[in-house]
Amino acid sequence: AQSVTQLDSQVPVFEEAPVELRCNYSSSVSVYLFWYVQYPNQGLQLLLKYLSGSTLVESINGFEAEFNKSQTSFHLRKPSVHISDTAEYFCAVILSSNTGKLIFGQGTTLQVKP
Amino acid sequence: DARVTQTPRHKVTEMGQEVTMRCQPILGHNTVFWYRQTMMQGLELLAYFRNRAPLDDSGMPKDRFSAEMPDATLATLKIQPSEPRDSAVYFCASGLVSRNGYTFGSGTRLTVV
Protein backbone atom coordinates (compact mmCIF):
# COMPACT_ATOMS: atom_id res chain seq x y z
CA ALA A 1 0.00 0.00 0.00
CA GLN A 2 1.15 3.50 -0.69
CA SER A 3 1.83 5.86 2.18
CA VAL A 4 3.39 9.24 2.84
CA THR A 5 5.46 10.14 5.89
CA GLN A 6 6.36 13.65 6.90
CA LEU A 7 9.12 13.28 9.40
CA ASP A 8 8.63 16.52 11.31
CA SER A 9 5.32 17.68 12.78
CA GLN A 10 6.66 21.17 13.55
CA VAL A 11 9.60 23.12 12.20
CA PRO A 12 10.44 26.43 13.92
CA VAL A 13 12.84 28.67 12.03
CA PHE A 14 13.92 32.29 12.11
CA GLU A 15 13.07 34.65 9.30
CA GLU A 16 15.56 34.62 6.40
CA ALA A 17 16.95 31.25 7.46
CA PRO A 18 16.85 28.24 5.13
CA VAL A 19 14.36 25.44 5.76
CA GLU A 20 13.79 21.87 4.67
CA LEU A 21 10.55 19.97 5.21
CA ARG A 22 11.01 16.27 4.79
CA CYS A 23 8.73 13.83 3.01
CA ASN A 24 9.15 10.15 2.26
CA TYR A 25 6.74 7.91 0.41
CA SER A 26 6.35 4.21 -0.11
CA SER A 27 5.02 2.76 -3.33
CA SER A 28 5.88 -0.15 -5.56
CA VAL A 29 4.81 1.75 -8.68
CA SER A 30 5.64 5.14 -10.07
CA VAL A 31 3.92 8.11 -8.47
CA TYR A 32 3.04 11.75 -8.90
CA LEU A 33 4.19 13.86 -5.94
CA PHE A 34 2.75 17.10 -4.62
CA TRP A 35 3.25 19.68 -1.93
CA TYR A 36 0.20 21.61 -0.71
CA VAL A 37 0.19 24.59 1.67
CA GLN A 38 -2.58 25.50 4.09
CA TYR A 39 -2.62 28.99 5.61
CA PRO A 40 -4.61 29.45 8.84
CA ASN A 41 -8.35 29.00 8.39
CA GLN A 42 -8.03 28.36 4.68
CA GLY A 43 -8.20 25.43 2.30
CA LEU A 44 -5.22 23.70 0.75
CA GLN A 45 -3.39 25.25 -2.18
CA LEU A 46 -1.15 23.38 -4.57
CA LEU A 47 2.43 24.59 -4.11
CA LEU A 48 4.31 22.41 -6.58
CA LYS A 49 4.27 18.99 -8.20
CA TYR A 50 6.56 16.36 -9.65
CA LEU A 51 5.29 14.28 -12.55
CA SER A 52 8.37 13.21 -14.51
CA GLY A 53 11.52 14.62 -16.05
CA SER A 54 13.72 16.99 -14.05
CA THR A 55 13.89 15.91 -10.45
CA LEU A 56 13.98 19.49 -9.17
CA VAL A 57 10.71 21.41 -9.31
CA GLU A 58 10.12 24.98 -8.25
CA SER A 59 7.20 27.11 -7.15
CA ILE A 60 6.62 30.78 -7.90
CA ASN A 61 7.29 31.86 -4.30
CA GLY A 62 10.79 30.47 -3.91
CA PHE A 63 10.12 26.94 -2.70
CA GLU A 64 11.66 23.97 -4.47
CA ALA A 65 11.42 20.22 -4.03
CA GLU A 66 13.66 17.44 -5.24
CA PHE A 67 12.48 13.98 -6.19
CA ASN A 68 14.90 11.28 -5.14
CA LYS A 69 13.78 7.91 -6.42
CA SER A 70 16.43 5.85 -4.66
CA GLN A 71 15.55 7.37 -1.30
CA THR A 72 11.83 7.64 -2.12
CA SER A 73 11.87 11.22 -0.90
CA PHE A 74 10.42 14.54 -2.01
CA HIS A 75 11.79 17.12 0.43
CA LEU A 76 10.67 20.74 0.25
CA ARG A 77 13.24 23.52 0.64
CA LYS A 78 13.47 27.28 0.68
CA PRO A 79 16.78 29.13 1.00
CA SER A 80 15.31 32.09 2.92
CA VAL A 81 11.90 32.05 4.58
CA HIS A 82 9.55 34.94 5.30
CA ILE A 83 7.07 35.43 8.11
CA SER A 84 4.34 34.97 5.51
CA ASP A 85 5.51 31.39 4.88
CA THR A 86 4.11 30.38 8.26
CA ALA A 87 1.58 27.68 7.41
CA GLU A 88 1.02 23.94 7.38
CA TYR A 89 2.60 22.03 4.54
CA PHE A 90 1.33 18.70 3.25
CA CYS A 91 3.14 16.22 1.07
CA ALA A 92 0.87 14.05 -1.08
CA VAL A 93 1.11 11.25 -3.61
CA ILE A 94 -0.96 9.80 -6.43
CA LEU A 95 -0.21 6.50 -8.08
CA SER A 96 0.47 7.22 -11.75
CA SER A 97 -2.35 4.91 -12.70
CA ASN A 98 -5.97 5.45 -13.38
CA THR A 99 -7.34 5.74 -9.85
CA GLY A 100 -6.21 9.30 -9.12
CA LYS A 101 -6.44 8.71 -5.38
CA LEU A 102 -4.62 11.49 -3.49
CA ILE A 103 -2.99 10.41 -0.23
CA PHE A 104 -1.63 12.97 2.22
CA GLY A 105 1.10 12.90 4.82
CA GLN A 106 0.42 14.09 8.35
CA GLY A 107 1.51 17.66 7.66
CA THR A 108 4.35 19.84 8.93
CA THR A 109 3.73 23.16 10.61
CA LEU A 110 6.32 25.72 9.59
CA GLN A 111 6.64 28.46 12.20
CA VAL A 112 8.71 31.41 11.01
CA LYS A 113 9.84 33.65 13.84
CA PRO A 114 11.09 37.24 13.52
CA ASP B 1 -9.93 31.88 -11.10
CA ALA B 2 -12.23 28.86 -11.03
CA ARG B 3 -13.09 27.75 -7.51
CA VAL B 4 -14.53 24.82 -5.65
CA THR B 5 -17.44 26.18 -3.62
CA GLN B 6 -18.45 24.61 -0.33
CA THR B 7 -21.52 25.47 1.71
CA PRO B 8 -22.05 26.19 4.49
CA ARG B 9 -18.72 27.57 5.68
CA HIS B 10 -19.65 26.98 9.30
CA LYS B 11 -22.24 24.73 10.89
CA VAL B 12 -23.09 24.25 14.55
CA THR B 13 -25.61 21.54 15.29
CA GLU B 14 -26.83 19.43 18.14
CA MET B 15 -25.94 15.80 18.52
CA GLY B 16 -28.39 13.58 16.69
CA GLN B 17 -29.28 16.10 14.01
CA GLU B 18 -28.76 15.52 10.29
CA VAL B 19 -26.02 17.56 8.64
CA THR B 20 -25.68 18.10 4.91
CA MET B 21 -22.59 19.66 3.38
CA ARG B 22 -22.50 20.68 -0.27
CA CYS B 23 -19.76 21.09 -2.81
CA GLN B 24 -19.84 22.61 -6.26
CA PRO B 25 -16.80 21.33 -8.16
CA ILE B 26 -15.11 23.36 -10.85
CA LEU B 27 -17.06 23.12 -14.10
CA GLY B 28 -15.67 20.31 -16.22
CA HIS B 29 -13.87 18.52 -13.40
CA ASN B 30 -14.82 14.85 -13.28
CA THR B 31 -13.14 13.77 -10.02
CA VAL B 32 -14.41 14.89 -6.62
CA PHE B 33 -12.98 14.11 -3.20
CA TRP B 34 -14.24 14.54 0.37
CA TYR B 35 -11.66 14.88 3.15
CA ARG B 36 -12.00 15.42 6.87
CA GLN B 37 -9.38 17.35 8.84
CA THR B 38 -8.90 17.16 12.59
CA MET B 39 -5.98 17.96 14.85
CA MET B 40 -5.66 14.35 15.92
CA GLN B 41 -6.07 12.54 12.62
CA GLY B 42 -4.91 15.11 10.10
CA LEU B 43 -6.41 14.83 6.60
CA GLU B 44 -8.50 11.71 6.11
CA LEU B 45 -9.92 10.69 2.77
CA LEU B 46 -13.60 9.90 3.23
CA ALA B 47 -14.75 9.24 -0.34
CA TYR B 48 -14.14 10.13 -3.93
CA PHE B 49 -16.02 10.03 -7.21
CA ARG B 50 -15.15 9.95 -10.86
CA ASN B 51 -17.79 10.87 -13.43
CA ARG B 52 -20.26 10.86 -10.50
CA ALA B 53 -19.60 7.21 -9.68
CA PRO B 54 -18.12 6.38 -6.26
CA LEU B 55 -14.60 4.97 -6.59
CA ASP B 56 -13.70 4.55 -2.95
CA ASP B 57 -15.63 5.30 0.22
CA SER B 58 -13.71 2.99 2.51
CA GLY B 59 -12.67 5.88 4.73
CA MET B 60 -16.23 6.81 5.56
CA PRO B 61 -18.22 5.42 8.52
CA LYS B 62 -21.04 3.81 6.57
CA ASP B 63 -23.52 3.67 9.42
CA ARG B 64 -23.92 7.45 9.59
CA PHE B 65 -22.17 9.01 6.61
CA SER B 66 -23.27 9.06 3.00
CA ALA B 67 -21.79 10.79 -0.04
CA GLU B 68 -23.52 11.34 -3.35
CA MET B 69 -23.25 13.26 -6.59
CA PRO B 70 -26.81 13.93 -7.77
CA ASP B 71 -25.37 15.68 -10.82
CA ALA B 72 -22.02 16.83 -12.15
CA THR B 73 -22.30 20.22 -10.46
CA LEU B 74 -23.11 19.06 -6.94
CA ALA B 75 -21.57 16.69 -4.42
CA THR B 76 -23.12 16.15 -1.00
CA LEU B 77 -21.88 14.67 2.26
CA LYS B 78 -24.50 13.79 4.85
CA ILE B 79 -24.15 12.76 8.46
CA GLN B 80 -27.18 11.25 10.18
CA PRO B 81 -27.21 11.21 13.14
CA SER B 82 -24.33 13.54 13.93
CA GLU B 83 -22.09 13.01 16.96
CA PRO B 84 -19.61 15.28 18.76
CA ARG B 85 -16.69 13.25 17.35
CA ASP B 86 -17.75 14.35 13.86
CA SER B 87 -16.63 17.88 14.68
CA ALA B 88 -13.99 18.72 12.09
CA VAL B 89 -13.34 20.69 8.93
CA TYR B 90 -14.64 18.93 5.84
CA PHE B 91 -12.96 19.71 2.54
CA CYS B 92 -14.08 19.03 -0.97
CA ALA B 93 -11.60 18.93 -3.86
CA SER B 94 -12.06 18.49 -7.58
CA GLY B 95 -9.89 17.84 -10.62
CA LEU B 96 -9.86 16.58 -14.18
CA VAL B 97 -6.50 14.96 -14.67
CA SER B 98 -4.74 13.57 -11.61
CA ARG B 99 -1.29 14.65 -12.76
CA ASN B 100 -2.42 18.28 -12.42
CA GLY B 101 -3.33 17.86 -8.78
CA TYR B 102 -6.67 18.88 -7.33
CA THR B 103 -8.28 22.16 -6.30
CA PHE B 104 -9.64 22.41 -2.78
CA GLY B 105 -12.59 24.34 -1.45
CA SER B 106 -12.42 26.50 1.67
CA GLY B 107 -14.02 23.82 3.79
CA THR B 108 -17.03 23.46 6.07
CA ARG B 109 -16.24 23.75 9.75
CA LEU B 110 -18.67 21.48 11.58
CA THR B 111 -19.22 21.64 15.32
CA VAL B 112 -21.52 19.08 16.91
CA VAL B 113 -22.52 19.92 20.49
What is the CB neighbour count within 10 angstroms for residue B102?
28
Return the pLDDT at B98: 74
Determine, for residues A51 and B101 on separate chains, whether the beta-carbon distance falls below 8 Å.
no
Identify which of A40, A36, A19 has the alpha carbon closest to the alpha carbon of residue A82: A19
Which residue among B35, B55, B100 places its CB closest to the CB of A99?
B55
How confident is the model over B25-48, as a mean pLDDT?
93
pLDDT of residue A96: 66
H/E stretch holding A71 reads none
pLDDT in tens, A45-88: 999 999 888 888 888 889 999 999 899 999 999 999 999 999 99
DSSP type of residue A19: E
Measured between beta carbons, the chain B residues lying within 8 angstroms of A101 are 45, 48, 55-56
Q: What's the Cα-to-Cα distance from A2 to each of A8, A53, A57, A70, B45, rounded to whole Å? A: 19, 22, 22, 16, 14
Return d(Cα B15, Cα B17) in angstroms, integer: 6
Measure the CA–CA gap between B27 and B46, rounded to whole angstroms.
22
pLDDT of residue B63: 93
Residues 72-101, chain B, touching A (beta carbon < 8 A): 91, 93, 95, 98-101
With beta carbons under 8 A apart, name residues in chain A contacting B42: 104-107
Q: Which residues pair with B19 in a beta bridge?
A: B79
> Using the beta-carbon criterion (under 8 Å), do B105 and A43 form an inter-chain contact?
yes
Residue A99: band (very low, low, confident or very high) from pLDDT cuts 50, 70, 90:
confident
Mean pLDDT estimate for chain B? 94
φ and ψ at B100, to 5 degrees?
-90, -5
A98 pLDDT exceeds 70?
no
Calculate mean pLDDT across residues B15-30: 96
CA distance A34 to A49: 4
pLDDT for residue A6 is more than 90: yes
3-state secondary structure of B18: coil
Region A90-102: mean pLDDT is 82
Give the rounded distance of the alpha carbon of B34 from its chain centre. Answer: 3
DSSP secondary structure letter of residue B26: P
